Amino acid sequence: MKKLVLLEQATISFSNFLLAIVLARLLGIEAFGIFATIWLIVLFINSIHQASIIFPMMSINPLILNNKTYRGGLNSLQLIFIAVASILFITLFQLLSLFITFDSNLLLPAFLAMLSYHMQDYLRRLFFVDSNQYLVFLSTITSYLSRFVFIAIFIYLGNSLTLEDTFYILALSYFIGSLFGFNKLKTLFGKKALIYSSKKHLKTAKWLIPSGVLQWFSVNFFMILAAVILSPIAVGAIRIGQNIAQLINVILLAAENYIPRTAAKIYKAGGINKLKVYLVKSTLYLFAPALALIPLTLLYSDFIIDLVYGNEFTEFSFVLVWFAFMTTSLVLMTGLRTYLRVLEQTKPWFLGYLISSLFSLVFAYPLEITFGLNGALFGMTAAQLILILSALIYAKKLGLFNENLQA
Closest listed residue to residue 170, CA positions, set 187, 186, 154: 154
Neighbours of 388 (CB within 10 A): 19
What length is written for the chain?
407
Which pLDDT score, from 0 to 100, does residue 65 have? Answer: 55
Q: How confident is the model over 345-394, as pLDDT tens digits?
A: 777 878 888 999 999 999 999 999 999 999 999 999 999 999 888 888 88
Q: What is the pLDDT of residues 92-150, one digit of tens each?
A: 999 999 988 888 899 999 999 999 999 998 888 887 777 677 787 888 889 999 999 99
**How much is the pLDDT for 124?**
86
Nearest to 385 by CA among 169, 252, 218, 208: 218
pTM for the full model?
0.85
Any residues with CB less than 8 A from the CB of 65 and at least 6 apart, and which? Answer: none
Q: What is the mean pLDDT of residues 302-324?
A: 91
pLDDT computed for residue 230 by the predictor: 92
